[in-house]
Amino acid sequence: MAPEIEKTGDSANVRKAPSSSDVEAEMVLATVSKDGLKRQMKDRHIAMISIGGVIGTGLFLGTATALETGGPLGMLLAYVAVGSLCYTVMISLGEMAAFLPIPGGHLTFAERFVDPALSFTLGWLYWYNWAIILPAELSAASVVISYWNKTVSSAVWIALCLVVVLTINIFGAGAYGEAEFIFASFKVMTIVGLLILGLVLDLGGGPNHDRIGFRYWKNPGAFVQLDGIGGAKGRFLAWSAVMSQAAFSFIGTEVVAIAGAEVKNPRRNIPKAIRNVYVRLLLFYIGGVFIIGLLVPSNDKRLNIADGTAAASPFVIAIDNAGIKVLPSIINAAILTSAWSAANSDLYCSSRALYGLALNGNAPSIFLKLTPHGLPWVSLATCSGFAFLAFMSTSNGGGKVFGWFANMTAVAGLSSWFGIAVTYIRFHRGLKAQGIDRKTLPYRSPLQPFAGWYAAIGCFMVALLNGWAVFLKGHWRADTFVTSYLPMMLFPVLYVGAKLWTRAPLVPYTEMDFQSGLQEVLDASKEDPPPRNWVERIWR
């Protein structure tokens, strides 16, 4: 249950500090109130966010690097592999969140079913993930804008985007759910339109009537040999290098399950949202990269966004190649809106995550300071400071900086997924030890517990192999090594440090808490009134 807070002026007095990460789910929608989190997210909010909430630059722009590095088939196989990990993580987290839709999501579950050290570790990794992805999105926005204007410094575009994002966040979280519903709707319409257009262009329906088919799978080929390394080793290295970019595209999907504390009737809507993951994984991501691999050759120079001059999404390149004049600018504008939306969410989530860490005693108490309207202004200002890392693109190129931050975010996200999988494995054993039949759960997957083990082992292996090409003779790159393995080292460092500090043992299976807070959140759940007409039914 969320702690009671009394606001006085610009600060908050915490009357009762919780023993778990009870307020971390505040990142999704609600501002602080003395009555705790409020269930403001409606059916249509969670449904649309589950489908299009984290569709962004990872799919629209990051696939350029993925195609150039791995080739069409290498990229497709990487997205299929990481997509399978994403799905197993989601069904694991969804089973816990539907059964216990309590504030804090996987952070609370980690403390209840593993130990406080894992909750501390996942909390800081989660904050780090959202804080680092913010400059990545701003760098991506500058890359997109340079499609129209390459003469103006990227610092100008980053500053403009940052001002917009800061302004929205200063106004608070009241309209966050509605805004994300609208943005996600636009993103879904954009990607669906691009998939249909891509299929038409591939079959020769464009202005040039060029039927492409699988031409680019034959020449330059289905795979790319990484750095010219021949044979199966070169293809495997290329495939493994794409895995981190694929992970960057999928990271954030778990927000749907973590939103359990703000969802009305979570025992119905969380399972529905988990099932919607099929749509995103198969149609948008797998379908999107498949279409991209058909339309654009992997040796197209415009795919190299790292040089700071190329500024086109693979979708835009394909439309350009087809000879359609106005549409590339329209699609690029939609991609820019997507980057803005993602950056706005990143700042909101990171600031609330930092506030939650402070409230639980895992960060300095200064981050608890609030404005009279409940805005955690110190946390917001601190997290905004990370946005200035995006200005590194002025000397290194927006595309290269985007790649650095995308890699760091992907590895941190994979580490969090690993923690979620470990938490589920213990959750599953705890249910069995206490005689709770999984058939009574509001959502369960027949793939468990094997899916949990697959997710844990798979996430660890992907993170471990992410940058191993740098250890080959003549392929050392300091920036790749740092961005690939520094975030991975954070997990053991944070966990061991917290373990030594708390000295708390693993929670015994027979003592796991499956009840606290459950009745309160279920009592607070309310059904939306039934739609009065067909318009409201479609809107919902």
Taking the CB of residue 204, how many other CB atoms lie within 10 A of it?
13
Is the pLDDT confidence value at 182 over 50?
yes
Please tell me the distance from the alpha carbon of residue 448 to that of residue 99, in angstroms, as a whole number.
15
Number of domains in the chain: 1
Q: On the CB side of 478, how many CA atoms lie within 13 Å of its CA?
A: 0
pLDDT in tens, 26-50: 333 333 333 333 444 455 555 565 5
pLDDT of residue 422: 93
- 532 lies in a domain? no
Is the pLDDT confidence value at 496 over 60?
yes
Q: 225 with 234: CB under 8 angstroms?
A: yes
pLDDT in tens, 472-491: 777 777 777 887 788 888 88
pLDDT of residue 177: 62
pLDDT in tens, 125-162: 888 888 888 887 787 777 777 767 667 777 787 888 88
- Between 250 and 499, name the one with better pLDDT: 499
Taking the CB of residue 81, how many other CB atoms lie within 10 A of it?
18
The parent domain of residue 377 ranges over: 40-502
- 529 lies in a domain? no
- Between 179 and 156, name the one with better pLDDT: 156
DSSP per residue, 275-323: HHHHIIIIIIIIHHHHHHHHHS-TT-GGG-GGGSS----HHHHHHHHHT
- Longest Cα–Cα distance in the chain: 69
- 3 lies in a domain? no
Domain at 328, CATH number: 1.20.1740.10
pLDDT category of residue 418 using cuts at 50, 70 and 90: very high
- 509 lies in a domain? no
Is the pLDDT confidence value at 65 over 50?
yes
- 105 lies in a domain? yes
Is the pLDDT confidence value at 51 over 50?
yes
What percent of the chain has a predicted confidence (pLDDT) above 70? 76
Please tell me the distance from the alpha carbon of residue 266 to that of residue 46, in angstroms, as a whole number.
10
Please tell me the distance from the alpha carbon of residue 489 to that of residue 379, in angstroms, as a whole number.
25
pLDDT of residue 265: 66
pLDDT in tens, 420-466: 999 999 999 999 998 888 888 888 888 888 999 999 999 999 888 87
Q: On the CB side of 162, how many CA atoms lie within 13 Å of its CA?
A: 23
Please tell me the distance from the alpha carbon of residue 364 to that of residue 24, in angstroms, as a whole number.
16
Residue type, 44: R
pLDDT in tens, 79-119: 999 989 988 998 898 888 878 877 667 777 888 899 889 98
- 54 lies in a domain? yes
pLDDT category of residue 521 using cuts at 50, 70 and 90: low
pTM: 0.80
- 446 lies in a domain? yes
- 342 lies in a domain? yes
Residue 534 neighbours by CB under 8 Å, 6+ apart: none
Is the pLDDT confidence value at 400 over 50?
yes
